[in-house]
Amino acid sequence: MIYTVTLNPAIDHIIHVKDELTRGKNNHVLESYNDIGGKGTHVSVVLSCLETQNKATGFIGEQGKNELYALLRERKVIPDFFVLPNRSVRQNYVLMDETHAGSFMITHTGPTITSEEIKLFTADLVSKLAPDDLVVFAGNPSKLINANVYRSILERVKETGAQLIIDASGEYLKEAIKVTPTLIKPNQFEFAELTKKTITSIDDTIGAMENSNLPNIDYIIVSLGKEGSLLFHNNSIYRVTPPKVNTVNDTGCGDAFVGGIVYALYKKFAVKDMLTFATSVSASKAMQPTSSGFVPSEASLLREQVAFEKIK
Ligand code: ATP
Ligand code: MG
Ligand code: MG
């Protein structure tokens, strides 16, 4: 089984306004809708789109839970979250205008979670895990959970023998690598922060990796947006580059990429297939307006145009 863990999920309220979003003016709404917010849940959407059974777990506030569950079920995701009584699901606002200059994100912190609730959630998750399971922790927890607590959840999961996949940033990524997960996927900015190096190119990324003291993580993938990604695995370096696509919304491309990688790990794809597959899934995502999901038929066509190279 594949489990995705979203410790701080949200409902994203997407609001598109006419012309340029401007202070002191009535900004007219062209369109608004609610979307699934939370990186682990986005990974689940990709897996469900690929008809691969998975469970989405994490913490969820009691108020608003039904709405988020309905959004997940619409995308064929099975939600199985630890419910936080008398608290609300986190609500985020994403404002976009017709300039296509990027969105404005307005986010809440998320509900408080007691240490007892963290203990219960972890014990329940761990009790279900078997060594051939994959567990994907995607997205940071709420700032109210400190990085040591996060690491102790990961340690418990690791002890079960299940494979741990991490997509986190900052302090949380720094703590997560101490548990030696199977795979991490920082983007170039997250990797620069982790290695304390300036990264603006493929060469910088390789240099940062070679001078780092990272523990022996089986797969380290650094993603560089439309430039593609680099995989460091078994002392080799691989580079993969997506074709040029008509980018509508690149937010969530990383989550789509992780979804493709997890699928490939689960199906035991060889390295080249793993990378070209995930790259085509995320390129298809870039062409979609929503922050999760992709079009499998489009991804299959794009895959033919993905460039793959073994650098070392
Ligand atoms: P997220 O917003 O989901 O956290 P991220 O910053 O972690 O994203 P990126 O490095 O932006 O991840 O993107 C992940 C992968 O998605 C890239 O390695 C690339 O394969 C693909 N990708 C991203 N942007 C584009 C794009 N504009 N066109 C084609 N492919 C893209
Ligand atoms: Mg990015
Ligand atoms: Mg990311």
Task: Print pLDDT tens along the chain (312 aa).
Answer: 999 999 999 999 999 999 999 999 999 999 999 999 999 999 999 999 999 999 999 999 999 999 999 999 999 999 999 999 999 999 999 999 999 788 899 999 999 999 999 999 999 999 999 999 999 999 999 999 999 999 999 999 999 999 999 999 999 999 999 999 999 999 999 999 999 999 999 999 999 999 998 999 999 999 999 999 999 999 999 999 999 999 988 889 999 999 999 999 999 999 999 999 999 999 999 999 888 889 999 999 999 999 999 999
Q: What's the domain count of the chain?
A: 1
CA distance 2 to 218: 18
- How remote is the CA of residue 230 from the centroid of ligand 2, in Å? 14
28 belongs to a structural domain:
no
Q: Which domain holds residue 56?
A: 2-9+36-86+109-310
100 domain residue, yes or no = no
Taking CB atoms and a 6 Å cutoff, what residues make up the pocket around ligand 1?
Answer: 187, 223-226, 228-229, 242, 245, 247, 250-255, 257, 279, 282-283, 286
The answer as to whether 30 is a domain residue is: no
Q: Give me the interface pTM, i.e. the ipTM.
A: 0.99
Residue 306 lies in a domain: yes
Closest CA to 253 of 222, 221, 225: 225
For residue 98, tell me if it sits in a domain: no
Ligand 1 atom closest to Cα of 241?
Answer: 20
User: Domain with 147 in it: what CATH number?
Assistant: 3.40.1190.20
What is each CA distance from 109 to 8, 49, 89, 169, 254, in whole angstroms?
A: 9, 29, 10, 16, 22
Q: Residue 103 falls within a domain, yes or no?
A: no
Domain assignment present for 93: no
Does residue 31 form part of some domain?
Answer: no
89, 7 in Cβ contact below 8 A? no
